[in-house]
Amino acid sequence: MGKLFDELDLRILDRLQADGRKPFTQIAQELGVSEGTVRSRVGRLTRRRMVKFVADVDPNELGLVYVYAGLRVQGPALKRAVEAVVAIPEAIYVVLCTGTFDVMLELMCRSNDDLVRLLHEIRSIPGVSHVDIMTILGIEKDEWRYTALASEAAPLKE
């Protein structure tokens, strides 16, 4: 499989990860390319759903209960269990993984009572044998600049 991002894509994305509202004209000037090149590449990556732009809000500041959950699923029920979890609106991030858990998810709840209801719902999903909950008390680091890890060149530090 070929590389999905070339070095110029990564350098553009690095700047957008630092400031998602940075003007394409400024990025173009910093990288020595045309504004049209930056616009075209960002458009292509966005259309292919390889990149998306969002406003990242601290859930604790919104008064939400923010929880990580690890699930163990027994037998051949993994696909159906994941489909059931994905259908839960409060499950905002769901991944398959290796290690202690088969599935990890992030949950956003309005209250502890809402969390209790949600845990009951998740525990009742066929195949789910164990649920481990970690309530997020505060976010100490929230880093989204990881394009340098994908780069063949030197780290993209400015």
pLDDT digits (tens, 9 = 90+) for 20-71: 899 999 999 999 999 999 999 999 999 988 888 888 888 888 889 999 999 9
pTM of the model: 0.74
Would you state the pLDDT for residue 148?
A: 65
User: What CATH number does domain 7-55 carry, 3.30.360.10, 1.10.10.10, 1.10.3720.10, 3.30.70.1050?
Assistant: 1.10.10.10
Say how far apart CA 11 and CA 14 lie, in whole Å.
5
Q: Domain locations in the chain?
A: 7-55, 65-135
CATH level 3 topology of 65-135: Alpha-Beta Plaits (3.30.70)
